[in-house]
Each structure stands twice: as structure tokens, then as C-alpha cells.
Structure 1
Amino acid sequence: MQTNLILLLFCIVLLVLGLAAFFMARAKASRVRAGGMAMYAQPNQYAWFSVLATAGPAILVGALGAFVMLLLGAEIPTAYLLAASLVIAALGLVVGLMQVRPEFHARQAIERVIRLLLAAAAMVSILTTFGILFSILFEAIRFFQMQSFWDFITGTTWAPGNSFLVSAGRAEAGEGGAQFGSVPLFVGTFIITLIAMLVAIPVGLMSAIYMAEFAPAHVRTLAKPVLEVLAGIPTVVYGFFAAITVAPLIVDLAALVGLDASFNNALAPGIVMGIMIIPFISSLSDDVINAVPDSMREGSLALGMTKSETIKNVVLPAAAPGIISASLLAVSRALGETMIVVMAAGMRPNLTANPLEDMTTVTVRIVAALTGDQEFESAETLSAFALGLVLFAVTLTLNMVSVIMIRRFREKYRANNL
């Protein structure tokens, strides 16, 4: 409670210092300007620079102190840290007022601060990506010290529980230790993702073309928000829909044509996942198609092409980079889906190409490995990091391929327009 009171007092004092810096700097700049001297910035710009000079260093010192205490384990009294920040804020106020002079470019200084803030925001995302990679990499290396990397990549049997049976003396004759072959997991992941994309890309792209090129304004106003509602439905609700409605329907349809289908089949979560991803492709593709200049459509129509030919030969090639980006974003979304697969496809690693059988995905096994009662140092738990590392590499490869494809489409598009 005392810490919260000190923090509240710090915020109040810093706010008062910021307001004082704003009004005092603006008043000083107005007086200098009224004296007939030419200034490089407006009084309000000098005022905002003084606010930045007052509050910015104080907040930075407080954030660095909190970082040192939380991550490095240092013990710094909160009152002393906040008091030091207020002292720095007072010094910043004096410096900000001293900079209110005709030859100082306050506007350029503010723009430099904004550029630094934007660069810091970009660095946060970059450092977060590397932090995720390193946190997975170190634990994955520990797993590969226990298990063969080659067997993990090429093995066709995922049976981590066998090691427990062997150690307990309950293994059957001839049964070996744990087997961590990841091929069944990645095959299941790719099959379910492929089914989802076969549903999502055609439906999402055609709906985007309709809303961008053919739909009247009142239909578009109503249809687009309704379509995007699908993106806000929780995945567990989709899981219920896949397990209770879609999976039994697939079993009945398969029986009509003489096929055997499991109630925990891969086709049901793939279809429902595709329905879930439709808004991602539709909304992004719609924005990209609308961004194509109308002059290109008008030039195509003036040359005698029909509207359908214009869409096929002009609009879609011009929007292809954005459509590819939307599709690969949807692929990444499908690769990371867990709940729908658990509820509709099951958790059994099954190496098969038949979508009517049960199978599981990489993310499901990651959750199962990290939520069990086994020790963290065990190979089964550490296998989750190995699976995450390979999945990270697969996603990174897809992103690199998408960048290459987008560049080629853009080069081809520019060459055709020359």
C-alpha cells in the first residue's frame, strides 16, 4: 500500500512539473517572439519540447531502475528511485527552459525524439522475436543432447511414454525406450492446415472480390461486419461446432459412399478452421483490391475488356502481393491452432494421409508435454521446445518464401507496366 501511495505521489509531482514546463516555456517563447526576434519554431513547439525534456528522462530512469530490480535482482528502494527520477525531471525542466531561444530548432528536436521512439518500438518487436527464439533454442539443445536430432526429424513413431513404462518394468517384451519421431505430428499439422486453406482461400478471396467489385454499398456495409464477426468467435466455440456438428456429419456422409470415418477425424477441424480463417483472408484481400487504382480498371474497360476480364487480368495481378501475404498470414494462424484440433481430431499421433482418420498436430503435443505431471528436466517435457523450434523454422521459411514471391510478383507487375 505504501508503494502504491509513493507511486501515485510520483505521478502527481511529475504531472505538475510537466504542466509547469509547458506553460513556462510557452510564456518565455511568446515573450521572446513579442520582442521582435525571429524564432525557428512556434511557442507551442518550445513548450512541448520542454515537457519532453522534463518527463522523458525521468520516466526513462524509472523504467531502467525497474528493469534492474526485476530482471537483475538488484535491491533499490522504490522511494529513492522515484526521488532520483523527480530530481532528473527538475533538471530537465531547467534545461528545457534554457533551450527556449531563437536559434534552437524545437520542432526538429521533437521530430528526432519521435523518430527515436518509433525506432525503439521497432526494436521491441525485433528483440522479442530473438528472445522467443533463444528461449526455445536453449531448451531444445538440451533435448537434442538426450535424443538424436536425426531420429527426431525422420522418425515415424511418437511414443514418449514408453520411457516411463521401461523404467517401471511394465514394458512388453521387445518394447524399446521412448521414441520421439516428429513426422506424424508434422504430417497431421500440414494435412489439417492444407484442408483449412482449401476452404479459406477460395471462399475468402471470392467474397473479397464480390464485396470490392460487385456488391452495392448497402450490401457491403452489412456483409463486411457480419463476415468479420467470425474472427471474434472464441476457438473453443469452433471446437464444439467441429466435434458436435461437423464431425458426425462427415461420418454420415462417408458412410453413404461406403467409407469408414472416425468421429475424431482430421477433416472436421480442417473445415472448421478454414471457416474461422475466412475473415483474415477476406478482409485483407478486400483492402488490397480496393487499393488498386481505379485508373487501371477504367483503362482496361476502355480497351474493350469485360469486368470479369478486368478483374482476372488487371486487378488480381496488381493485388497479388497483398493476397499472398494475407494467405500466408492465414497459414501461420492455422499452424498455431490447438483447441479445435484437440476437440475434433484427438491427440493420437497417427502417420496417415487419410483425413477421415484421427491425427494430431505439433501445437497439441506441445501443450500436452508442458501440462503433464512429468519433470521439467525429462525428455518428454523438453521435446515441446524441440517441436516449437522446428515449427518456428517452418513458419520462418514460409515467411521468407512469401517475401520472395511478393518481390517476383512486383517485379513482373512493374515490367508489364513499363
Structure 2
Amino acid sequence: MTPAGVRRRAAPGSSGFLRRSQPRYVEKVVKVLLVAASLVSVLTTVGIVIALIPPSVEFFGKVSFGDFITGTDWSPLFKPASFGVLPLVTGTLVITLIALVVAVPLGLGAAVYLSEYARPRVRSFFKPILEVLAGIPTVVYGFFALQAVTPLLQDIWPGGDGPEVFNALSAGFVMGIMIIPTIASLSEDAMNAVPNELRDGGYALGSSRMQVSTRVVFPAALSGIVAAIVLGVSRAIGETLIVAIAAGGRPNLSFNPLEGMQTMTAFIAAAGIGDLPTGSIGYQTIFAVGTLLFVMTLVMNLVSIRLVRKYRQVYE
């Protein structure tokens, strides 16, 4: 028996020899930095909203919101001024749609090849080359569209009635090339995250590589693919220099991609160069269009989050 008041010595390896762990200061610092990074993003968004709301409220105090949304004539810097934003919205949507028609098939095709067909050495060689496209300045893309793509389209267009010098087709085509790396890289990462057990099950049932890629891997990675496409759409909607250089600066309520158009971002860039007096209604149109663009992007992101959650697959 152990005498009263005498503590029994724990055997080696028992909990009695476990020491209290030292405070992990590095982890605490990293945690603080991560929280700070998250707060910067949130505070930046809040700051954008705060900067947009007061001038927008003043603008809509002078211009009817209904006339702004449904009007078909946009000439806020001329007399008589007109504030129908539909031409800018139409130009933005047409060019974005053309970019998606180009980028989605090519980006997803590149992702499927890199994820399911390419050998590791080939993947490690081609993926950085693909991502180089994302690092090219957009002003270079804009001049490429104006000086190379548009003349080429005018030369090969049947009947000789080709695109105008400034047109939405060349701007959308080059913008699609610009966002291919975004869609391809993120989609390839989502496909690589699919467990190999699913692929092995498909091959065990006698499926070909194409069937496994399109019927097993692609549906399993659908949430990541949707997120990649939405991110590409967001970048296309927010692009400025390509559309300002290649699509022109004429608001045009038309769905003809051969004609010149002006997008919402192109108008903001053109009107915000400093020639408008602060507080004037022309100056306030910049914030009104920016608010509409912010709301459109927010709605699109909310829809994408819902889609991602709906099709998300969880593997253990």
C-alpha cells in the first residue's frame, strides 16, 4: 500500500510524464493574420458600398429609377441628356456571352485533357503555359483585337459585309481567350480533387476514358466547375480595356455583334477621366452605373453560391 500523503510515481510513458504543451505563438499569429486578411476583404466591400450609395441616391433623386432601367437612349453628357442605361447593359451582356461561347468549351476541354488524359510531365509543362495567358496585360489583348482580329474577320467575312472597325464580336472573342486560363485552371483543380476510387469503379465497369471523364469525373466536380465559370463571367463583366479599345465607345441598343457597343465598365472608364465637375449629374452617372454593375455581380454570385451548394459532392 502507498503511505498516505505520498504520491505514487507514475510509470514511464504514462500521463504523469506528459508535460503541458508550450503556447503556440506562431499559430496564434497566423490566425490573427488570416482573420485580418478576411476583414480586409469584408471592409473593402463595405467601403465600395459606402462610396457608391450617396452619389447614387443623389442621382436617383434627379432621375427616375424606372427611366434609368428601362430607357433605351444613353447620352448623359449631351444636351438634352438621356439616362436610359439599357444600351450599356445590352453591350455588356452581348460581349460577355460571346466570351463565354469561346472560353467555356475551350477551358473545359483543356481542363479535361490536363486532368484525365495528360501525363504528369505533360501537365506540369502545359498548365503553366496556359496560365501565362492570364498574366498578359488586358491593354495588349485590346490592341490585338483591334489590329489583328477585326481585320481578319473583315477579310474572311462572307459577302464583304463584315464587322465594323469597332465591334462586339472581336472584343468578345479576345475576352474569351483571356478568361480561358481562369476556367481551365480552376476546373482542372476541381477534377483532380475527385477521388480516384470513382475513376477505378468506372473503368471496372468497362467504361472508356471519355465515358469516365464525362459521366463520372465531370458530374462529381460540377460544383467546382460552376464556380470556375462564374469567376470567368465576373472577370468578363468587369473587363474594361479590351471593350474600350475594340468595341468602341458608342452606346448601342443592339444584339448585332458586328456593330460597335459600349459596356458599363467602358463608360465608367471614359467618364471618370476627370473632365466632369464633381457633384454634377454627369459625374453622378458614374456611381449609378457602378451601383447597377455591383448589384448585377452580387446577384450572379448569390446564384452561383446556390448552384455550388446544390451540386457539391462530399467525399470521405
TM over 0.5: yes
Is the aligned partner of 1:148 residue 2:148? no
Matched, 1:179 2:82: yes
The whole-number CA distance in structure 1 between the counterparts of 2:37 and 2:131 is: 28
Tell me the distance in 2 between the aligned counterparts of 1:121 and 1:237: 32
Task: Indicate the residue corresponding to 2:164 in structure 1.
Answer: 262
1:205-220 correspondence runs (5 A)? 205-220=108-123
The answer for the alignment partner of 1:235 in structure 2 is 138
Percent identity of paired positions between Structure 1 and Structure 2: 50
Unaligned runs of 5+ in 2: 1-16
C-alpha deviations, 1:153-193, integer Å up to 9, x for none? 11110111323xxxxxxxxxxxxx21011000010001000
Which structure's relative contact order is higher, taking Cα pairs within 8 Å and 6+ residues apart?
2
Residue 338 (structure 1) aligns with: 240
Residue deviations 1:266-296 (CA, integer Å, cap 9, x gap): 0001000000111111111111111111111
AA in 1 matched with 2:298:
L
Q: 2:252 aligns with which of 340, 347, 350?
A: 350
Partners of 1:124 and 1:263 in 2: CA distance: 42
Is the alpha carbon distance of 1:402 and 1:38 closer, same or farther for their aligned partners in structure 2, counting shifts above 3 Å?
closer
Match of 1:134 in 2: 50
What SS does the aligned partner of 1:162 have? Answer: coil
- Whether 1:121 aligns to 2:37 is yes
C-alpha change, 1:258 and 1:114, in structure 2 (3 Å) is closer
Q: TM-score, normalised by structure 1?
A: 0.68
Residue in structure 1 matching 2:182, options 273, 277, 280:
280
CA distance in 2, matches of 1:120, 1:222: 36
Scaled by the length of structure 2, the TM-score of the pair is 0.90
RMSD: 2.0
Paired residue type of 1:276: M
Note the C-alpha offset of 1:115: 3.5
Structure 1 residue runs without a partner (length 5+): 1-36, 43-105, 164-176
**1:388 is matched by which residue type in structure 2?**
G
Pairing partner for 1:192 from 95, 99, 103 = 95
- 1:122, distance to aligned residue in structure 2 (A): 1.6
> How many residue pairs are counted as aligned between the two chains?
300
Which residue number in structure 2 is paired with residue 291 of structure 1? 193
Say whether 1:41 aligns with 2:21: yes
Q: For residues 124 and 37 of structure 2, what CA distance do their matches in structure 1 show?
A: 34
Greater share of residues in helix = 1
Partner of 1:316: 218
Counterpart amino acid of residue 355 in structure 1: P
CA shift, 1:225, in A, is 1.4
Q: Please give the alpha-carbon distance, in whole angstroms, between the structure 1 residues aligned to 2:175 and 2:26.
A: 47
Q: Which runs of 4+ in 1 moved over 6 A?
A: none
